[in-house]
Structure 1
């Protein structure tokens, strides 16, 4: 159906206003008018408006207070925003909500991160066992970061856990960046792991059940994904209902309070029906779901053979599989190198990676490619050159993410083929003060450090910004992009800063465009979804160092306020969280 243009719609409603003696007929009048605001539309001109009219979940007019209020009927809800600044709802193009939903923390799990001895760890297990019915899994979603933080300088074993958990399987995961899990004897028994059990094997994945050198028995230390997959399935770590509720909790507590109205989740397992079904059930709830979601299909490029990946791509001929106003599935996530410890080989072999990239491109998919090493950057660029030569496509909008070491040739390839750079600038805060020296290992290929955003911008490559895992919060990301300040206060490569307008676009209209949704999202313009965020301070006129301290007062999705901050004080403390632990930092 053809949409009325901004001018056509405005003239039409104004004509009705005049012909009807100064009032618009109720059926044609907007449902809601927001006025007395500073509305940063993020349109092509980055124009500022005072008011906006909304009907049926869409913006129907944007303009001055007098122009928009004239369109209101008696039953139109008129909301005075008292001069507050409004931005389009944020589009976070890379955030792990579903993947972390199964890791929803609890107080004892968060304490488990900080233990300094096996004795303390076992005591937390004892406390949790005491409130868990016999036979049920006792699970900690966080664990110590390294064995060295424990007095004993070793990981606990099942023999440490068994005395306090005689009737419950125990699982402690997300230890050492999730490389290590710990279970007790009942956990191993549930997985069928015993003396002389073969070590797990999946192509491209490392995994082993650690063996006690004295007894020859598995000791409960589980390393690597291949072994963890066995334990996860055996212990039924979380049910479909728990996954659904944990996603809802994560969105309620850590997505919409930060102004996010759409996010892309890049770690949905290949054709992962449980995750997709969980989202579909959430969106079918009577009360609705307060955010729009773009799920990616993660190809199992490291865990399956080349042939199996090619067969999977061919079996999922691009449709896209699912696309609605609230849930989209239409992008392949392809990880070409190790995303966390425990996977072997570190880099997907070039020939395998190239074949998979070319076939996915051939079949019409948008590709979202995880790249953290120079080797994968180079061969991914070569594969894209070959893919476009063999199978020309217009406007494919493939995306490379995490890319930190571009050569001029890489940049030229991305520019020529229209490949987008998706970068996570929130990591600057955590960099050590000697990071510049650490990132100069190869003079022939200068490593600009994490996310050299201005380098890509200056090369004419579209840049989107996203949260990844730590922390979730576009205003924090915008602050980091324009300041690039470390915890110490030292600036990391100031020449790579973005302007404020560039950073705002990188969290709104550019990711919407990157995922082919700029006709309905990313800016406050007539015909687009009524998704917006009301800020506690004026982001355009304030000191950029204060941007991370701007509170979100309201988040609107589809014309409804899905989040209203119970504290409307513009000077309130804003808390950001490390995810999935959801532990605050910047204190």
Structure 2
């Protein structure tokens, strides 16, 4: 904290601190990039000569929102056209209208195809989910209507599936002889064009590389930052950077550590594709990366992926499995190797965040954590179950006993709740999806997330989902798993910071912490909870710097 500068006292209509000692205030004093004191304006004047800033005199301040599970892919994909079901706003504020059926999707694709400059330029788009289209799967046949010569690559909303046309399959050699798990085939044994999970999607070759290669694009990171600031996030996470090497870290530092970059970023090292690596060496490398962190860029944690997506039928479920089906999902990492993968990082004190959409995957991860703690006990390691969509009461009890955190994908209640009832898990299990009340009951540190770009970045929406549990059709999905607005805000501030190991620096408005605030037009604790997602976001404060949202 700088001690040679005058404090700035920001006054506000109300400050919600997430600090039980001083839960509400009317002013916060900031010196440099740190919080000096919180209270009434007159109480803060004792810190000596100061500047009064009344920018927020009619606004509400909360701790800066922490999005603890998103991806820079959200910034990358806005470099390509969006063709998803729901309307969506891009980094520049433009609203892209959703494609509500296959006909609308076909019209959009045809428009985009005619706009391409050259005849052989591929068409790469994103955001589709066939689950919205009354049971019809998107196949190469649908895309061949658009073009039989131009390669077409459609990344699904979940990021776990893609659909490609015949021209692309011919170019990449995907045919009936292709023996890769996840290449969907019809009754004639010919590929349908649907590629499930990364091993199959990688068969798309150069077309996938157009997306993956942009991880190192400064434009993608600037898009990511703008999107975050516009929805009130001051800390965002890229939960799993592929090939996070020294060059990538230098690139990130050159973007994120600049004064004008509007958010803090936590970047995790992805273990996807590391099956042949020496994990002891990787653990050593990741632990060393943590020492290269700055106040705006945080490194030194890892991401493991065990299963796929529920809406793509590739998540791993406990019996009885998928609703009305006899198959299960795909293990994206061998479950029998989970402990061996986890242990080197556990021993180095590196937190592991594990993608577990299905409850069978949660069992595998918790078994591995339990075994690791028995072999090499570490207090406060904060391994985290990511997504945690179908976690059961007994699994939350185990999380509590092991000190494991949860990051819950509440947005699924709105975006896929109706589909989960009708098609994936059925009415009874859908009622207990995203079980925030159960997590709170068992004193789990839990956060909420968007998994952007799977759903749009925005913690007001994830909190609204946890509070109201409404599907897109207006159905209440699990009345007894609702939580209060305060608890939802706590989850996206202090507990979000906790899961990332940043709660000493972020997540509440109290002396000594970084001066990161989200600025609202209305009080989230006073409005009708049904309106929570619609509150206006004025902007943010990052380390004492005021940053209005784009209008």
Which of 60, 81, 84 is equivalent to 2:59?
84
Q: Return the offset for 1:323.
A: 1.4
Equivalent runs, 1:52-67 vs 2, <5 Å? 52-67=28-43
The alignment status of 1:282 with 2:262, answered yes or no, reads no
Counterpart of 1:156?
A: 141
Cα distance in 1 for partners of 2:215, 2:375 equals 45
The alignment status of 1:292 with 2:261, answered yes or no, reads no
Q: Return the offset for 1:274.
A: 7.2
TM-score normalised by the chain length of structure 1 = 0.76
Counterpart of 1:570?
A: none
Equivalent runs, 1:86-485 vs 2, <5 Å? 86-98=61-73, 101-106=76-81, 113=99, 114-116=101-103, 120=107, 123-129=110-116, 132-133=117-118, 136-142=121-127, 145=130, 155-156=140-141, 160=145, 170-175=151-156, 179-183=161-165, 185=167, 189=171, 191=172, 193=173, 199=178, 201=180, 206-207=182-183, 225-233=198-206, 236-238=209-211, 240=214, 243-252=217-226, 254-271=227-244, 276=249, 278-285=251-258, 288-300=260-272, 303=273, 305=275, 308=277, 310=279, 313-314=282-283, 316=285, 318-321=287-290, 322-339=292-309, 341=312, 345-346=330-331, 348-407=333-392, 409-430=394-415, 431-432=417-418, 435=421, 449-468=432-451, 469-485=454-470
Q: Return the offset for 1:46.
A: 5.1
Cα distance in 1 for partners of 2:143, 2:430 equals 43
Q: Return the offset for 1:241.
A: 8.7
Cα–Cα, structure 1 residues 402 and 328, in superposed 2: closer, same or farther, change >3 Å?
same
What root-mean-square deviation, in Å, do the aligned CA atoms of Structure 1 and Structure 2 show?
A: 4.0
Q: Return the offset for 1:115.
A: 4.6
Cα distance in 2 for partners of 1:477, 1:448 equals 17
Q: Return the offset for 1:242.
A: 7.9
Is 1:552–1:565's contact at 8 Å kept on the other side of the alignment? no
Cα distance in 1 for partners of 2:356, 2:6 equals 50
Cα distance in 2 for partners of 1:427, 1:267 equals 20
Cα–Cα, structure 1 residues 339 and 29, in superposed 2: closer, same or farther, change >3 Å?
same
Is 1:207–1:342's contact at 8 Å kept on the other side of the alignment? no
Cα distance in 2 for partners of 1:227, 1:434 equals 24
Look up the SS of the partner of 1:537 in the other structure.
coil
1:485-509: CA deviation from partner (whole Å, max 9, x where unpaired): 3344443222222222221111111
Look up the SS of the partner of 1:266 in the other structure.
strand
Q: Unpaired runs of 5+ in structure 2?
A: 85-95, 315-328
Q: Unpaired runs of 5+ in structure 1?
A: 10-26, 567-587
Counterpart of 2:10?
A: 34
Cα–Cα, structure 1 residues 316 and 213, in superposed 2: closer, same or farther, change >3 Å?
same
Cα distance in 2 for partners of 1:138, 1:347 equals 27
Is 1:433–1:490's contact at 8 Å kept on the other side of the alignment? no
TM-score normalised by the chain length of structure 2 = 0.80
Is 2:339–2:368's contact at 8 Å kept on the other side of the alignment? yes
Cα–Cα, structure 1 residues 397 and 226, in superposed 2: closer, same or farther, change >3 Å?
closer
Structure index of larger Rg: 1
Q: Return the offset for 1:349.
A: 3.9
Look up the SS of the partner of 2:37 in the other structure.
strand
Is 1:145–1:176's contact at 8 Å kept on the other side of the alignment? no
Cα distance in 1 for partners of 2:426, 2:197 equals 30
Cα–Cα, structure 1 residues 360 and 339, in superposed 2: closer, same or farther, change >3 Å?
farther
Cα–Cα, structure 1 residues 384 and 441, in superposed 2: closer, same or farther, change >3 Å?
farther
Cα–Cα, structure 1 residues 277 and 414, in superposed 2: closer, same or farther, change >3 Å?
same
Cα–Cα, structure 1 residues 61 and 244, in superposed 2: closer, same or farther, change >3 Å?
same
Aligned pair count? 518
Is 1:112–1:124's contact at 8 Å kept on the other side of the alignment? no
Which range moved further: 429-438 or 57-66?
429-438
Look up the SS of the partner of 2:505 in the other structure.
coil
1:214-241: CA deviation from partner (whole Å, max 9, x where unpaired): 9x9x997766533432434367515549
Cα–Cα, structure 1 residues 279 and 98, in superposed 2: closer, same or farther, change >3 Å?
farther
Cα distance in 1 for partners of 2:483, 2:456 equals 19
Which range moved further: 240-249 or 348-357?
240-249
Is 2:62–2:517's contact at 8 Å kept on the other side of the alignment? yes
Q: Return the offset for 1:257.
A: 1.4
Counterpart of 1:583?
A: none
Cα–Cα, structure 1 residues 492 and 437, in superposed 2: closer, same or farther, change >3 Å?
farther
Cα–Cα, structure 1 residues 419 and 136, in superposed 2: closer, same or farther, change >3 Å?
same
Look up the SS of the partner of 2:140 in the other structure.
coil
Cα–Cα, structure 1 residues 249 and 455, in superposed 2: closer, same or farther, change >3 Å?
same
Counterpart of 1:542?
A: 527
Which range moved further: 64-73 or 503-512?
64-73
Cα–Cα, structure 1 residues 493 and 345, in superposed 2: closer, same or farther, change >3 Å?
closer
